[in-house]
Amino acid sequence: MKENEKNKREWVKTAAIIFLSVMLVLTFFSQSIMNYSLPEVATSYAQSGTITAKIRGTGVVESGDPYEVKVTETRKVSSVAVKVGQTVQKGDVLLYLEDAESDELKEARKTLEAAQDEYELMLLTAEITSSNIYSASEGVSVEVYRKQISNAQAAVKKAEEAKKAAEEAKKAADAAIPANPEGVSYEVLVGQIQQAIKDHETQIAYESSEAVKAQDEINVNNKQNALNNAEAALATAQDNYNAAVENGSDEETVNNAWAAVCNAQAIRDTAQNEYNQAAAVRDGRPVTVANLQANLETWKLRLYNLQKDQTAATTTTEAGKKTAEEALAAAQADLDAKQAELKSLVDNINNVIKLEQQLDKIDKAQTTVDELTAKSVNATVTADISGTVTQVNVTAGNNTSASSPVVVLQPEGAGYTLSFSVTNEQAKRLSVGDKADLVNAWRYDDVEVTLASIKPDKQDPSQKKQLTFNVTGNVTAGQSFSVSVGQKSANYDIIVPNSAIREDSNGKFILIVESKPSPLGNRYMATRVDVEVLASDDTQSAISGALNGYEYVITTANKPVEAGKLVRMPE
Amino acid sequence: MKKIVLGISGGVSFLIFLILLFVSRSLGEAQESQTMAERWSDKKDVAQVSCFFSVNAGITEDRIIDFEHSVDGALTEASVIQESENPSARLWADAYSADGQVTLSSDKSTLSADAIGIGGDFFLFHPLKLLSGSYFSGNDLMQDYCIIDQDAAWQLFGSNNVAGMTVKIGGIPHIIAGVVERPSGRLEESAGLEGTLVYVSYQTLDELGSCNGLNHYEIIMPNPVTGFAEKLVREKLGTSEKETEVLENTSRYSFASRLKKITEFGTRSMNGRAIIYPYWENIARGYEDILAVITLFELLFLLYVIVLALVSFGIWWKHKGWTLRSAWLFVKDKAERAVEKHRAKRLERKRRKADGSGEKPVKKEKPFRKEKRAKKPKQPEV
C-alpha cells in the first residue's frame, strides 16, 4: 500500500518537472517560434535622390546621303574590286564584268529591228508622198512648217472674213424694201390711195342717194312752213301796232306793240335764213357729187401710176438679193478651199513628223545597241564620287540587276543618321537637340548622338513617333547602336525601389517597418502608408506621402505581408 | 462499449470534417493568382475576372483599349465612383498576356525560352516571388524590361543578383527588372512551368519574339451585384463562345462552386475550344479538382456525423422517461410558482411603504458612487 503511494508521488513529481521544463523552454523560445511563423521581409531605406526617366532605343546607323552605284544591265560580275569600309577615289574601279551580251543588249537589238520594220511599213501607206519622205530625211525646220501653217491659217481667216462680209451683204439685201423717191414705201402709199378712192366712192353713193334727197326736200318744206308762220306772225304784229297807233293808245302799249313787231321781224329773218340754207343744201348736192367724181378719177390715175412704179422698184430689189446670194456662195466655196488646203498641209506635216520620229527611234536604238556592244567587252563599273564603300551587294559570279544598287558609297563629309520609333508618350518627354547616351559607351570613342527630329511614324502615325538622330564621330553605316535619351534628372526627397510600390483599390502604397520594443527584443510591424508616385525610372520611384524620409520600406517578402501585422527582419 | 466507440467515431469524423474545411479554405487562399480580389480591396465588393482566348479570336491591344474605355462607361452607369482619397487610386486594374518564345543573349551565352508577353499590371495579378529587382508594368514608360527566373539568370549570367543588367532580345537590349523564383511542384511542373519562363512586355514578344497571339486577359473591378463584372467582360470583350472562356476567379473556390464542380464530374474534362491555358490557370484547375475531392470527403464525414446524431437522438427520444405532457405540466408549474413569488414580493414592498420604515440609506449609496465616477474624467483639466 505504501509502495503504491510512493509510486504515485514519484509520478506526480516527474509530471511536474516535465511540465515546468516545457514551460521554461516555451518561454525562452517563444520569440523564435513566433518569429518563424512571421513573414520575413527585405527592406530598403527611403532616401532622397534623383530620378532620370530615359527613353531607350536601338537603330542602325545609316548614311545621311548615300550614293548608290547601279549597273543598268543584267551582267555577270567577274570580280569585285572593293570591300566594305574601303575608301575609293572618283574613277576607281569597283566591279569587273564578264564579257557577254547582256539581256539589255539583246533587247536593244530587238527594239532597233522593230523600229526599222515599222518605218518601212509606214512608207508603204498611201498618205505618205515622196516629198514627205524627202522632207523627213532632210529634216525641214520647224520655222518653215510654222510659216506654211500660218500662211494657210491667214488665208482661211481671210476667206472667213470675206464670207462674213458676203453674209452681211445678203442680209442687207434681204432686208431691202422697195421705196418711192419720197421715201415712203409703195405699199403704204398704195394703201392710202386705195383708202381715199374707197372714201370717195362712199361719199358719192351717199350724196346721190334718194334718201338724202328726200331728207333735203323735207327739210326745205319744214323751213318753208316755219318761214310762212313767221311772216304771218309778223303781219299780225304789224296789224296790232298799226291798230294801236290808230287807236291812240298810250305810249307803253305802242312801244310794246313795236317791240313785238321787231321780235316777229327777227324771227322771220332767222326763218328766212334757215330756209335759204336748206334750199342751198338741197340745190348743192349735184355739184358736190360732180366734184367728188372728178377727184375720184384723179385718185385712180395716181394709183395706176404708183403701181407701175412699185413693180419697177421691186424688180430692182430682187435683182440685188440674187447678186448678194451669189457673192456669199462664192465666199463659202473660197473658204472651203482654203480650209482643205490647211488640212492637207497639216496632214503633210504630221506625216513628215511621224517619219522623223520613227527615224529618231531607229537612231536611238542604234546608239543604244552601239553603246551596249561597246560595253560588252572588258566592262568595269567605276566610282562616280570619292567616298567610303558602305555596302557591296554583289559577289563574283552573280548577276547584277538593273533595279538595285551594286555598291553604296558614303560620300566624303556627309553625316550619318540613326532612327527608331517610340510611342507618343515617350516622345512627349523628348525635345529636338537632346543629347543621347550610347549604351556601352566605352566601346566607342568620340561618337556623339543628337536628337534631330521627331516626326510621326509612317507605319503607325497616330500611335508612334519616329526619332531621328544625327550621329557624328568614328562610325560606319550599318552599325547598330542602342542609345538612351531623356530629360535631365530631377531631385526628389523620397525615393524608394520600384519593388516597394504596391497597389490596391485604395491606390498606391508602401509598407514600412515600425519597430516596437518588447521585453524579449524588438518586434517589427508592417504599416501601410498611402503614397503618390511622382516619377519613376528603371529601378526607383519618387513618392510623396506621410513619410519623413528615413523609413525602412518593405521591398519583398517570403510570404504575403498584411498591413498592421508583425513581420520578421532577416538576421 | 458500443456507445463509446460510436461516440468517438462521430467526434473523430467531425474533427476530420473541420480539418478538411480548414485545409480546403487555406488551399484556396494560397492561390495568389486567384485571390486578387482580397488583395485589391478589404471589402468584398470587387471581383477578379479572367478571360482566355483561342488563337483565332483575333484579340488585339486596340480591342483591349476599347474594352477598357467601356469599363469606365459601365461603372459610371452602375454609379460606382471612386471613394478613396488617394489621388492615385484606381477603380479597376487589368492585365493581358500572350504566350510565345524569345531568345535572350547576354555577353556570355544565349538562351531560348518560353515567354509570356505582358501588358497592363500583370504582376499585380501574379505576384511571383522576387529574388532581386522589381516587377514592371505594361503601363511603364519604357517597355524594354524583362523578368527572368533563377534558372535563366544562372544560365545567362551565373548569378541571381542580375536585376539592372542588360540582355539582348532580337538584338535589342532589354533591362532585367527582376529575378523571380519559378514555382515548383508536381502541379506546377505539369502546368507549364517545367522549363525556363521569361516575362517580357507584349510589345517585345510581338516584335522581337514569336508570339501566339494575345490569349489571356484579367481584370479586377468593382462588382456591385453578383456576376456584374463577369457579365461585362463576357459581353464587351468576349467574341464567340467557341473562341472565348470567361470565368470569375474570386468565387471559383467557394463552397457553392466546389459543389458544382462535383456535379460536373466527367463532363468537366471535355473541351471543345482551341484555348491553351496559361500555367496559372492550369494550376488553378488542378486545385479545383483537388478541392472537389476534398469537398466530397467533407460532405461524407459531415453526413456520418449528422446521421449518427439523428440516430442517437431517435434512440434517446424513444427511451426518455417522460412525455411531452409531463414536460408541459412541469413548465406550467414552474411558471405559476414564479408568478406567485413575484406577487408576494410586491405585497411585501407595499406593506413596507405603508410602514414608512427606512431601508432607503442603502439605496442612496448608488448615486453617491456615480458622482464620484463622473468626476474622474474631469481631473486632468485641473
How confident is the model over B59-114, as pLDDT tens digits? Answer: 888 889 889 999 988 898 888 888 888 888 888 999 999 999 999 998 888 999 99
Both B66 and B164 in one domain: the answer is yes
B47 within domain boundaries: yes
**Lowest-confidence region among A48-52, A270-274, A512-516, A545-549:** A545-549
Q: Say if residue B289 is in the same domain as residue B224.
A: no
The whole-model pTM stands at 0.60
Average predicted confidence (pLDDT) for chain A:
85
pLDDT per residue as tens digits for the range A23-47: 999 888 877 777 778 888 888 888 8
Question: B153 and B289 share a domain?
Answer: no
In this structure, is residue B326 part of a structural domain?
A: no
Chain A CB contacts of B177 below 8 Å = 498, 538
Share of chain A above pLDDT 70, in %: 96
* Domain shared by B1 and B95, yes or no: no
- How far apart CA B99 and CA B115 sit, in angstroms, is 6
- Is there a contact between B141 and A504 if contact means CB atoms under 8 Å apart? no
The alpha carbon of residue A443 is apart from the nearest alpha carbon of chain B, in Å, by: 14
Range of lowest pLDDT (A70-84, A138-152, A317-331, B362-376):
B362-376
Report pLDDT for A181.
65
Residue B181 distance to chain A (closest CA, Å):
11
**Residue B49 placed within a domain:** yes
* Interchain CB distance below 8 Å, A53 and B140: no
CB pairs under 8 A between A and B: 84
| Identity at A277, one-letter amino acid code | Q
Q: Do A560 and B127 touch (CB under 8 A)?
A: yes
Instruction: Name every residue whose Cβ is closer than 8 Å to that of residue A390 and which is 6 or more positions away in sequence.
Output: A63, A66, A84, A85, A408, A409, A410, A476, A477, A478
Contact A505 B145 (CB under 8 A): no
Taking contacts as CB-CB distances below 8 angstroms, the residues of chain B near A538 are: 142, 145, 164, 175, 177
Residue of B nearest to A546 (CA): B86
Flag whether B179 is in a domain: yes
Same domain, B21 and B58: no
The answer to whether A480 contacts B171, with C-beta atoms less than 8 Å apart, is yes
Question: Is residue B353 within a helix (H) or strand (E), and if so which, with residue range?
Answer: helix B324-355
Report yes or no on B356 lying in a domain. no
Give the mean pLDDT of A247-268.
86
Q: For testing the chain A interface, which of B62, B94, B141 should be mutated: the one with the most A CBs within 10 Å?
A: B141
Question: Which residues are bridge partners to B119 per DSSP?
Answer: B96
Name the strand (E) or helix (H) holding A512: strand A507-518
| Record: contact A507-B90, CB cut-off 8 A | yes
Q: What residue numbers bound the domain in which B54 lies? A: 34-80+89-251
C-alpha cell read off for B189:
511542373
Q: Do the chains contact at A538 and B40, CB–CB below 8 Å?
A: no
Helix (H) or strand (E) holding A516: strand A507-518
Q: Which residue has the cell 518563424?
A: A36
Q: Based on the fold, state whether residues B176 and B264 are members of the same structural domain.
A: no
* Cβ–Cβ below 8 Å for A560 and B32: yes
Q: Are B284 and B229 found together in one domain?
A: no
Tell me the mean pLDDT in the region A257-261: 88
Least confident segment among A118-127, A495-504, B41-50: A118-127
B183 lies in the same domain as B298: no
Residues on chain A bordering chain B, Cβ-to-Cβ distance under 8 angstroms: 53-56, 58, 425-426, 429, 439, 480, 482, 497-500, 503-509, 530-533, 536, 538-539, 555-556, 558, 560
Q: In B, residues 141-180, which contact A (CB 8 Å cutoff)?
A: 141-142, 144-145, 163-164, 166, 171-173, 175, 177-178
Whether residues B169 and B76 fall in one domain:
yes
Confidence of residue A374 (pLDDT cuts 50, 70, 90): confident
* One domain for residues B96 and B234: yes
- Nearest chain B alpha carbon to A481: B172
Q: Are B284 and B247 in contact (CB under 8 A)?
A: no
Nearest by CB to A508, from B88, B133, B175: name it: B88
**Is residue B364 in some structural domain?**
no
List strand residue ranges (DSSP E) for chain B, in order: 46-53, 93-105, 110-120, 129-133, 145-149, 166-169, 172-181, 197-201, 210-222, 244-248
Which domain-ending residue is among B304, B319, B334? B319
- Pick the closest to residue B117 from B93, B92, B136 (CA basis): B136
Q: Is B46 on the interface with A (CB under 8 A)?
A: yes
The predicted-structure confidence for B111-140, as pLDDT tens digits, reads as follows: 999 999 999 999 999 988 888 888 999 888
Residue A78 exposed, middle or buried by CB count within 10 Å (0-12, 13-18, 19+): middle
Q: Are residues B61 and B158 part of one domain?
A: yes
Cβ contact B84–A56 (<8 Å) = no
Q: Interhelix angle for A251-375 vs A210-246, to 10°?
A: 150
Give me the residue from B86, B127, B134 closest to A506, CB to CB: B86
Contacts of B93 in chain A (CB under 8 A): 503
Chain B residues 86-145 with CB within 8 Å of chain A: 86-91, 93, 121, 124, 127, 129-130, 133-136, 140-142, 144-145
> How far away is chain B from the Cα of A557, in angstroms, using its nearest Cα?
8
Domain count, chain B: 2
Q: What is the ipTM of this complex?
A: 0.74
Residue B351 falls inside a structural domain: no
**Nearest CA of chain B to the CA of A410: how many Å?**
25
Over residues A529-540, the mean pLDDT reads 87
B38 lies in the same domain as B122:
yes
Q: Answer whether residue B328 is part of any domain.
A: no
CA distance A296 to A277: 27
Strand B197-201 and strand B110-120: pairing? parallel
Are A533 and B178 within 8 A, CB to CB? no
Q: Cβ of B134 and A532 within 8 Å?
A: no
The burial of A410, by beta-carbon neighbours within 10 Å (0-12 exposed, 13-18 middle, 19 or more buried), is given as buried
The model's confidence at residue A22, banded by pLDDT at 50, 70 and 90, is very high
Which tens digits make up the pLDDT trace of A72-122?
A: 777 788 888 888 878 888 888 888 887 777 777 888 888 889 888 888 888
